[in-house]
Amino acid sequence: MTVSIYSGLAGRVVLITGGASGIGAAFVRAFAAQKSRVAFLDIDRDAGEALVREVTDAFGSAPLFVPCDLLDIEALRGAIDRVHGALGDAAVLVNNAANDKRHMLAELTPQEFDWTMGVNLKHVVFAAQAVVPQMRARGGGSIVNMSSIAWMRGAPGLPAYAAAKAAIVGFTNSLARIVGPDRIRVNAIAPGMVITERQRRLWYPDETQIAEFRTRQAVPDAVTPDDIAQLALFLASDDSQRITRQCLQVDGGL
């Protein structure tokens, strides 16, 4: 893959939620490669610390890792305050953290529904709430929210997850209107099938199942975490300064 260089991202503070593994880790690596000042939040301390070592070895600069349970909004606010104190005003927020735990409508409990909304939607709203004043103070910024094609295609094993991911697009549209006058742009990315290590372990252990799914794509090649990260770089950069209130699909034309 040819990687674009966005010189304007160098030195900018980038905050990523759910950054320790999968697509989130690809975001951390991609922004570190642009020489951004990267911070990421995640509940998985071991994976987060391992990623810090990897990125430091690769790029010569350590990202700031703050362990955080994003279901605890006060802890989230505290973590964002810690990043702000260490690095300064955030120029970019990537709301990545999510969990696509399978569930069936007939068996869904109110507690499971609330958990699904909490881990996929609630923290997105409150992370943005906490970061917007920083972006206003610096004269602008870019927020990238992670949606999913699950809500577009009507994934039958993910009704509450799909509802949360659809709601993220609604929130993206509303927030873009609210903060646009402050030159803060808000967009969403909706990935297709991205086979991370976790996806392969939990949902797609059969390679033939993956291959069959890809036959439905217009472009049959695998959609990778790096593909998603490259779009996030563009949306975070000044090259996309007139793009806001959009949900962009990265799914090979599924």
Q: What is the pLDDT of residues 29-67, one digit of tens each?
A: 999 999 999 999 999 999 999 999 999 999 999 999 999
Q: Pick the catalytic residue: 6, 40, 161, 171? A: 161
At 157 the pLDDT is 86
At 201 the pLDDT is 67
pTM equals: 0.94
Residue 158 burial class via C-beta count within 10 angstroms: exposed 0-12, middle 13-18, buried 19 and up? buried
As a dihedral over the C-alpha atoms of residue 121, residue 124, residue 130, residue 136, rounded to 10 degrees, the angle is -130
Give the Cα separation of 78 and 198 in Å (integer): 28
Tokens describing residue 43: 């509940």
At 33 the pLDDT is 97
**Is 6 annotated as catalytic?**
no
Q: Which of 60, 68, 64 is nearest to 83 (CA)?
A: 64
Q: What is the pLDDT of residues 61-75, one digit of tens each?
A: 999 999 999 999 999
Q: Scan for tokens 């020489």, then name that residue.
A: 35
Task: Give me the chain's average pLDDT, please.
Answer: 94
Q: What is the pLDDT of residues 103-143, one digit of tens each?
A: 899 999 999 999 999 999 999 999 999 999 999 999 999 99
At 140 the pLDDT is 98
**All structural domains of the chain:** 8-250 (3.40.50.720)
Q: Are 42 and 67 in contact (CB under 8 A)?
A: yes
Among 20-24, 123-127, 152-156, 233-237, the least confident range: 152-156
At 221 the pLDDT is 87
Q: Are 136 and 182 in contact (CB under 8 A)?
A: yes
At 156 the pLDDT is 84
At 202 the pLDDT is 59
Predicted confidence band of residue 153 (pLDDT cuts 50, 70, 90): confident
Average pLDDT over residues 155-166: 93
